[in-house]
Structure 1
Amino acid sequence: MRPRRPVFVDVDTGVDDAMALAYLFGSEDAELVGIASTAGNVGVRQVCRNNLGLLALCGVTGVPVSMGSATPLSAPLRTAEDTHGPQGLGYARLPEANSELTTYDAAEAWVRAAHAHPGELIGVATGPLTNLALALRAEPALPRLLARLVIMGGAFDYRGNTTPVAEWNVSVDPESAAEVFAGWNGAENLPIVLGLNLTENVAMTPELLSRLAGAAGSPSTPMSAADARGTVSTASNPLIRVLEDAMRFYFEFHHDQGEGYLAHLHDPLAAAVALDTEIVRYRAAPVDVELTGTLTRGMTIADWSRRWGREPNAVIGVDVDPAAFFDRFIDRVGAFAKRLG
C-alpha cells in the first residue's frame, strides 16, 4: 500500500464534485485534510451544505469544511442549476450535517493546510478558482508550499461548454484563473490542468454506473433514457443511491444537450490524477486567460509554440485511457460504498 498523502480540495459541489469526493473518501492513499467550498455550480452556502452532508452520509469525520467567497473576484456569480439541479446534486437528498463549518474562510483554509503540510500537500481545485486566488494574495509562497496542484478547468484547442470557447469553471471567474496561472509563473512544481479536451473523454454511462453498484454489493435497476424523469434509485446502499439519483439528473442534462444518455466525469478524473499523475499524459505550455474579449472572455490559451517567449506555467493533460480510469474509480468507490453498507 502506498503511503497516505495529505489532500486539500476546493469544490463547488456539484454532481461530479460529489463523485470526486467519494473517490477521495475511498482512496486509502489519500488523507483528506480540508474541503474549501466555492460558489459555482450552486451558491456557496448550498455547496457547504452539500459538502457537510456528504461527509455525514459517508461517515467521514475530522475533515474541516470552510466557506469561500460568495461571489467571483469581480464578476457577478452565475450558477448551473440546469446542469446539477436546484441543490447541486440532481435528484439526490443528503442527510442533515452533524458538523459545523470552520470559523475561518476557504482562502485561509488553503494557507493553513499548506503550512501544516509544507512540501507534501496535494491541492485539487474542481470549481472556479476564487478561493485559491485569494489564498495566493494572502500567501504568495503557496506554489512552493504545495507538492502538487491539480486544476479541472479550461479547454485547450477545444470547444467550450459555457461559451463557444470557454469552460464553466474558468468562465465563472476568469480573473481568479488568470491570477492563479500568473502565480505559478517560475514555479518549480507546475500545476496540472485538466481541460475539457481531456475530461470529455471520460464519460459515465448507465452500464458503468451499474458496474459501480455491483461492486458495492448493491445492484439496482439499470438506468435508461426511456425512464421517467426523476426515477429514483432502487439501490439499498446509501452512497450508491445518492450517486445514482445525482447522476440521473446529470444524464438527463447531457441527453437534452444532444450528447447522449451519459455524463462527463470532469472532477473525479482530477481526484484520480491528484493521487496518480501517470494515468494522464501531459504537455507543458505557458497558459493565460482572456479577460477582455467580447466573444472570447474566459478562453484559456496555451502557447504551444512559445510565441509569447514565456516559460511554461502549467502542464496540460492531453491524453487519458478512460477504461483504466473507470476501473480504478469503480474499484475504489465500490469498495468504499460496500464498507458503508
Structure 2
Amino acid sequence: MKGPHTVPPSTVPSTTPAAPSTPLPTSPTVPLLVDVDTGIDDSLALLYLLASPEAEILGITCTAGNVPARQVAINNLAWLDLCDAPEIEVALGSEVPVLAPLMTTEETHGPQGIGYAELPAPTRTISERHATEVWIETARAHPGEVVGLVTGPLTNLALALRLEPELPRLLKRLVIMGGAFHHSGNTTPVSEWNIAVDPESAKMVFDAFSGLPADRRPIVCALDVTERIEMKPEHLRRIADQIGDEDAALTPDSAFGSRSRARNPVLRHLTDAVRFYFEFHVTHDQGWLAHMHDPFAAAVALHPELATLRAATVDVELGGTLARGQTIADFAGLWGRDPNAAIVVDTDPAAFFDHLIERVSALATRVGEAEEGGERQP
C-alpha cells in the first residue's frame, strides 16, 4: 500500500487533530441525515453513529453502490434491529446512477455487502418516502441545522438538488466520503469508488455547493487521508477486551472465512463483516488490514476537529477514456473560481481509533447486557 503523500501547507485556517490520549470535547447534538451504500465500512460508520449520544439521526437514505440499493436498505434495517436502535426512517433512493450503468462491488464487501456477517432478517420496514423526499423535507423542516453525511455515491443528493436547488443553503453542512487528490484512485488509476460509480452526480453536487461561506463548504474525506485509517486485528481485540469477550481468529494464518466466536452479537457480526474486508485487502497486496473510510467521515461529521482542512475548488472529470471520475482540486485559485470544498488533508488515525473503539465498545456492552437480561431477542 502506498504511504500518504505530502500536501503543501495550508493557506487557510485549519483545525488541529486531537492527540491520541486526549478525549474529544463534549459536542452538542448534531442532527444528521445519513446517505449510505452499506457496505462493510458504512456498517461500522452506522454502529459508531448509533453509539454516539451527540448523533441525532433524522433519517437514513440508501443508494446503490457497494451493493444494490434494496440490499443496502435491508442491511441498514438489520443493523438497527441488532443494536435495538430507536425508530429511524430508512428510505430507498436511486437504484441506478443518473447516467452511468450501475457498478457494485460484492467482491470487496461480500454478496450482501456485510462480508461474512449473517444478520437476522429485519423486522423494520423501508419507508414509503423516496430518499429525495427525505433529503428535501428534512432540510426544510430544520433549516440551517442538519449535517448531511454521504458515504456512498452522491446520486440521491444530486437528484434532490434538481428538485430543491436551495438544499446547500438549507443544510448546515455536508460531509462527503469520496475522491482522491494527491493519491491514486481505488477504482481506476485516478478515481475513487464513490465518485467513479456516479461521476455526473458528484459534479452536480460540487457545482451546487459553490458560493457558500467557509464554514458551510462541504468537508471532503478523500483517499488521501482515509487510506491512512487502517483497522487492524488489534483494534477489534481492544473492543473485545473492553467488553470482556472473545474475538474471532483474525490472523493471516487462520483459514479464510473463519467466523467469530464472540458471544456479544455486535462484536460477533462486526468481526465477521470486517474479516471479509481484511481478506480483500490482503489478496490485493495491501496487508492484513481494512481501510475504514466511512467511519472516519462519520466521526468528522460529529467532530470536525479531528480533521485538518484546506480550502479548494473541486471539480469532476466527466470526459476522456482514462480520467473519467477523477476529482481535481484547485488549491491555488488557478481556475479563478471560488472554493467550494474543505478538503481533509491530515488527521491523527490513532486518536480516531481511540474514539471509535470507546464508542463501539459502549454500544456492544449495552446490546450484550440487554440480550443477557432478556430484554431483546438474540
TM-score band w.r.t. shorter chain? over 0.9
Q: How does 1:108-119 map onto structure 2 within 5 Å? A: 108-119=133-144
Q: Work out whether residues 114 and 145 of structure 1, in 8 Å CA contact, stay in contact via their aligned partners in 2.
A: yes
Is the CA contact (8 Å cut-off) linking 1:91 and 1:230 kept in structure 2?
Answer: yes
SS at match of 1:62: coil
1:214 maps to which residue?
Answer: 241
Match of 2:113 among 54, 65, 88: 88
Cα distance in 1 for partners of 2:260, 2:45 equals 20
Aligned to 1:247: 274
Give unmatched runs, 5+ long, in structure 2. Answer: 1-25, 369-378
Amino acid at match of 1:53: A
Q: Deviations over 1:3-48 (max 9, x none)?
A: 3221110000000000000000000011111000010000011101
Per-residue deviation, residues 241-266 of structure 1 (Å, max 9, x unmatched):
11100000000000000000100000
Deviation at 1:148, TM superposition (A): 1.4
RMSD (Å) for aligned C-alpha atoms: 0.9
Give the TM-score, by structure 1 length.
Answer: 0.98
- Contact residue 71 and residue 77 of structure 1 kept, 8 A: yes
Query: Could you tell me how far apart the structure 1 residues matched to 2:248 and 2:224 are?
Result: 32
| Amino acid corresponding to residue 81 of structure 1 in structure 2 | E
Contact 2:248/2:271 (8 A) holds in 1: no
**1: CA distance between counterparts of 2:303 and 2:86?**
24
Partners of 1:314 and 1:293 in 2: how far apart?
Answer: 24
* Residue number among 264, 285, 288 corresponding to 2:312 in the alignment: 285
Corresponding position of 2:78: 53
* Residue 305 in structure 1 maps to residue 332 in structure 2: yes
Offset at residue 219 of structure 1 (A): 2.7
Q: What are the superposed Cα offsets for residues 165-192 of structure 1, whole Å, 9 maximum, x if unpaired?
A: 0000000000000000000011221000
Match 2:69 to one of 12, 24, 44: 44
Residue 215 of structure 1 and its aligned partner are, at CA, apart by 2.1
For 1:64, the equivalent position in structure 2 comes to 89
Aligned with residue 289 of structure 2, among 246, 262, 278: 262
2:229 and 2:153 map into 1 onto residues whose CA distance is: 20
Pairing 1:169-180 to 2, within 5 Å after superposition: 169-180=194-205
Alignment partner, residue 234 of structure 1: 261
How many residue pairs get aligned? The number is 341
Deviations 1:212-234 (A, max 9, x none): 22223323244101111111101
Uncovered stretches (5+) of structure 1, i.e. residues with no partner: none
Structure whose alpha-carbon radius of gyration is higher:
2
Alignment partner, residue 158 of structure 1: 183
Which residue number in structure 2 is paired with residue 338 of structure 1? Answer: 365
How far apart are the structure 2 equivalents of 1:17 and 1:132? Answer: 17
Q: Aligned pair 1:15/2:40, yes or no?
A: yes
Q: What CA distance in whole angstroms lies between the structure 2 residues aligned with 1:237 and 1:273?
A: 28
Aligned-pair CA distance for 1:274 = 0.3
* TM-score normalised to structure 2 length: 0.89
Shift in alpha-carbon separation, 1:270–1:236, aligned structure 2, 3 A: same
* Residue identity opposite 1:333 in structure 2: V
Verify the 8 A CA contact 2:144 2:172 in the aligned structure 1. yes
Partner Cα separation in structure 2 for residue 245 and residue 237 of structure 1: 12
2:107 and 2:209 map into 1 onto residues whose CA distance is 33
Whole-angstrom CA distance in 1 between matches of 2:278 and 2:189: 22
Instruction: Say which SS state the counterpart of residue 6 (structure 1) adopts.
Output: strand
- Residue 268 of structure 1 deviates from its aligned partner by 0.1
Instruction: Percent identity, please.
Output: 57
Contact 2:229 2:349 in 1 (8 A): yes
SS in 2 for 1:286: strand
How far did residue 118 of structure 1 move?
Answer: 1.3
> C-alpha displacement at 1:115, in angstroms?
1.6
Task: Name the SS of the counterpart of 2:138 in structure 1.
Answer: helix
What is the aligned partner in structure 2 of residue 106 from structure 1?
Answer: 131
CA contact (8 A) 1:216 1:336 kept: no
Task: Give the drift of 1:99.
Answer: 1.3
Distance (whole Å) between structure 2 residues aligned to residue 124 and residue 221 of structure 1 = 31
